[in-house]
Chain A
Amino acid sequence: MSRFGGISAAERRLLPEGRAAGPMPWVIAIMTFLMVLAAAGGLGLRHSAAALSAQLADRITIQIVDANAATRERQARAAIAELHRLAGVRAVRRVAAPEMRALLEPWLGRAGLDELPLPVLIDVDLAPAARRSVAAIEAAITAVAPAARIDDHAQWLAPLTGLIGSLKWLALALVLMMSAATGFTVVLAARAALNTHRATIDVMHLLGATDIQIARLFQRRIALDALFGGFVGFSAAALVILLLGQRIGGVGSDLIGSVALPGSSWGMLVALPIAGALLATVAARLTVLNALRRIL
C-alpha cells in the first residue's frame, strides 16, 4: 500500500473529499495570484532602482558655460586635468561635439546649431565612496574653471529612488499581508474541516488514534489543496507578468523599460507558492492540534 505524507492510501480515505473540494484551493489560488503579482512588482522595481543607481547615481556632469569659445576650451581642459588629479574619480569623459549636436538636434533643429555657443559637457564617474565629496570636487573644479556648473545626477534621482523604495516596501507589505490572509484562511478551513469530521475524529480518538495521527490527515489534505491553489495562482500570475513585460517593452521608454524581472527573481516567485503550501501545512497542523487538545 503506497504511503504519502506518512499515511497510507487507506488512511487517506478517512477524509473523503477529493482535491479542489470547497472554496479553499481557489481562495489560495487568488491569494497566490495577488501575492506573486505584488512580489513581481517589488522585485521589478528593485531591479529598476539598482539599474538606475548603477547608471546614474555615481555620476556627475560638469558643464562649462561660457560664451567665449577660447575661455570655454581653456577652462574645460583645466577642469579635466584637475579631475584626473582628484581622488575618487573613476572615469572622465568629455562629450564629443557630434554627440552634443545629436542630443540637441531633436529640440533645436539642424539649422543654427553650428552658430550656437554650446557648453562643454564632461561626464564624471565617481567611486561610490567619493559620493560624499561632491562638494569638494565642485570647489576644486570651480577654482580652475569658474564657468563650471556641477550637475549631480543623484540629486534629481533621489525623489525617484525614494518613490521606488516606497513602492518596494508597499509590495513587501502586500506579500506579507496576503501571506497572513492565506494563513488565516487555512486556519478557518482547518476548523471547518474539523467540525465537519468531528464524528470521525471522535471515533478515531476512542479507537486510540493520537492527535498527531489525526492532524496528519488534515495537514496532508490542506497541503495538497494549497499546492493546487498555489500552482493555479502562480500560473495565472506568471502569464500576466509575461504579457505585461511585453507591453512594457513596447512602450520604448528607458525608464519604464528598466522595470524588468531578471531570471533570479523568477526563482523567488516560484518559491512563493511552495512557501505558501508550507505555511498552510504548518497552520493546519497547529490549528488541528490546538483544537484536538480541547477534546479528551
Chain B
Amino acid sequence: MGGIVQFENVGLRYGTGAETLSDVSFNLAAGSFYFLTGPSGAGKTSLLKLLYLAQRPSRGLIRLFGEDVVTLPRARMPGFRRRIGVVFQDFRLIPYLSAFDNVALPLRVAGMDEREIETPVNEMLAWVGLSARASARPATLSGGEQQRVAIARAVINRPEILVADEPTGNVDPEMAGRLLYLFDALNKLGTTIIVATHDVHLLSRVSNARMMRLDRGRIADPTGALLHPPEAAKSPEAAR
C-alpha cells in the first residue's frame, strides 16, 4: 500500500558537492505524526525542502498524494503546494504585512473571498494567543510571536500534510506544549504531520508519534518500519 508520502532511493546534491541526502527511502502513512530528528547538518531541512516541493531531488522517486512529483510539470506544483502547510525554521513572514495578513496569505493565494477570510484568521490568531497583535508587523513581534504567526499561517487552510522545521525552537515550554497540542489536534483531523526537531523530549508529548532519524544524509530505519509501516501506523484511527 502506498502512503501519502513515498521516497524511493532519493538522493540530493547541491551543485557538484557531496550528496546531502543519500538513498533515502520511506513511506509515510496518511494521518500519521512523525518527528524527524538528527544532528545538525544531517540533512533534515533538505529532506523537508523535498517534502514541501521547494527542491527537486537529484535522483530517486518521490510520490506525494500518490503522484510522482519529481517529474510533475511546474504548472501543477501550486495545486500540490496548497495541500502542504509549511512552518519554516526562519519563519519567512512577509515583513510588509501585518500578522493578520501573513496568516491570511494562504487563503488569499487559494482565492478565498475576502469576506470569508476574517473569521478563520481571527480564530487562528486567538488560538496561538496573538489576537492582540493582529495588526502588528513581524519586525515588532518577538521571535516566539513570529513563530506562532508562521505556524498559524501553515495550518490556516487545513493542509493534508504539515511540515514544520524546528517549530518550537523559539517558544517557551508552555507555548511549545500548546503548539504540539494544535499539531496533534490537526493530526486527529487527518493531517499528516512531519516535525523536524532537536528536542527529543517532544517525542513523549504526542501519543502515537513516530520517529525518523537522519544521520549524515541517510535515514536510520533498522527495523524497516519506515519503509514498511506497521498496520497500526497506516490507520492511525485504529491505533487510537
Contacts and interface: CB of A to CB of B under 8 A. Distances in A.
B105 A207 contact: yes
B81 A296 contact: no
Per DSSP, chain B at the interface is helix
Interface stretch (A130-138, A143-151, A198-206, A274-282): A198-206
B108 A8 contact: yes
Contacts of B54: 202, 206, 296
Given A207-B82, A208-B78, A200 B94 contact: yes
A209 interface: yes
Contact of B108 (A11, A202, A203): A11
B78 A210 contact: yes
Interface in A11-45: 11, 13-14, 16
Contacts, number: 63
A208 B55 contact: no
Contacts of A213: 109
Contacts of A209: 78, 109
A116 interface: no
B82 to A, nearest CB: 3
A248 B109 CA distance: 58
Given A8-B108, A11-B108, A199 B78 contact: no
A1 B101 CA distance: 14
B109 A204 contact: yes
B77 interface: yes
A208 B109 contact: yes
A85 interface: no
B81 A208 contact: yes
Nearest to B97: A13
Interface string B84-115: 00100000101011000100111011100011
A209 B105 CA distance: 10
A236 to B, nearest CB: 33
Given A13-B96, A199-B92, A296-B53, A206 B81 contact: yes
B82 A208 contact: yes
A202 B108 CA distance: 16
Contact of A296 (B56, B82, B101, B105): B56
6 contacts: A1-B115, A199-B94, A203-B94, A204-B109, A207-B81, A208-B80
Interface of A: 1, 8, 10-11, 13-14, 16, 199-200, 202-211, 213, 293, 296
